[in-house]
Every structure is written in C-alpha cells, then in structure tokens.
Amino acid sequence: NSVFAIGSLSKQFTAVLVLLQEEQGKLKINDKVSKYLVEFQPEEFENITIQQLLNHTSGLNDFGSGLLSKPGKEFNYSNKGFRYLGELVEKVSGKSYDENAKELFAKAGMKNSSTPNLFQGKDFAGAYTGNSMPKRLADKEISVAAGGILSTVPDLHRWNDALYNGRILKPESLQKFMEKSSGRNHPILGKMGYGFGIMMNPQKPVAYFHTGYVKGSPSLSIYYPETKTSVIILSNIADES
C-alpha cells in the first residue's frame, strides 16, 4: 500500500489525458499550442504543436527562455512541455488537472493513486531528503503533469494492464501513444524510441517503459505486451549521483 512519488512516470498519464480530450473532439494533436495557450503566441513559439510537446521535439528550453532547436527537428527532453500539456488539458476540459487525473485513476481501477493536492497523507513513503513532499511536487519547477503523480506498485500494474489492453483509449489513440514518433539517447539505457510520454526499446523483446526521478525517489515501469507482463520498481531513497 506504500504510496511513492513516481516522477516522470507521470508523463504517460498526462499524454493519455490529452488523447482523451482528442477523442472528445476538444483538440487535435496536430493543432498549434498557440490556439489554446497565450504563452505560445509569441512568434518564436507559435508553430509548436501539441504532438511536439508530447514527444519532446518542441525545442523548449527547460532552464531558460527561448528554444534549444527548431520545433520538430530534435529531441530535447522537456518537463516544461508536459507542464504546459497539463495546462492545456485544464483549458480544453474546463476541469482541473486533479479532477481529470482522479477520473482517469478510477477508470483504470487505481485505488491508491493521487495528485499531491488531493493526497490524504496515508501510507506515503517519504523520500529521505529532508524536503516537504508531496507538497513540492505540485510546484511549477516539477509540476504534477510532468512528474508529480503519487502511486503504488499494484496501481501501476493495474494501469499498464488497463492501458495496453485497450480499456482506457480507443485503438487509434493507443496506437498514437505507442508509436515511435521521436527518439532519444537515454543517459543510462542508451538509444530508445519515444512515443507520447513513453519509451520503447529498439530490440526484442518489445517493451514500453519510462524512468522517473524526483529528488530521493527513482522509479521504473516496464510493460512487455507479448507476455502481458509488468515490472514496476518504486523507491524512496537514492544516491544523488
């Protein structure tokens, strides 16, 4: 029952929330983000699409203003991009990210997952860092949509089972989510394909996965579709290096 900060495993939940909005006709992933958010209306950002935020090819600079690369050209991992996707979900749905996430958790049968603002403080595996978690996970520098969701090992198994077996998204939406639309060089795992908030390995066996890290709490979720097997690792202590 221990509840952990899952870091960037949160990104796949945000990506699914965006695709659910598309299914309802409230956006299209090829839309320019500037159609919905004023922050993208300056000329430099006006051509960035929702899809480019989802697969980290927007060129957004997490640690400064401006762009690192021309939109659509290069993979630059961006927490900021997913924070904006969370704001986009709120804008088009008319509901807070917390409300949208709570509905998604219920749909997947996740009984002990939460966003920081809704967390009741039960069974939290606090990280040994001296920081106030989960409150700080909702801060802009992390943001719930990019890395702030709280979950458990059994709930993440339920999520993988529901998501990859078609109980959350329509088949065409799930295909968009899983399809390699960019690639990254992971600092530990090497060359990977990237879909929408999810990575895939280029060799056998087929696997969809993501790593996560917020200070003190590393996480890993892997799903092997051929055997319908999940591997979930959550921790609340980590050597910073």
| Catalytic center residues | 8
Query: CA–CA distance from 177 to each of 47, 108, 164 (Å)?
Result: 22, 16, 10
Instruction: State the maximum Cα–Cα separation within the chain, in Å, rounded to a whole number.
Output: 48
Query: Can you tell me the distance from the alpha carbon of 103 to that of 202, in angstroms, rounded to the nearest whole number?
Result: 33
Query: Can you tell me the distance from the alpha carbon of 13 to that of 17, in angstroms, rounded to the nearest whole number?
Result: 6
Q: Residue 202 forms beta bridges with which residues? A: none
Which residue's structure tokens are 């979930």?
232
Instruction: For residue 14, give the nearest of 109, 68, 79, 94 by alpha carbon.
Output: 79
In the three-class reduction of DSSP (H, G, I as helix; E, B as strand; rest coil), residue 186 is classed as strand
Q: How far is CA 35 from the centre of its chain?
A: 22
Name the E strands within 111-166: 150-151
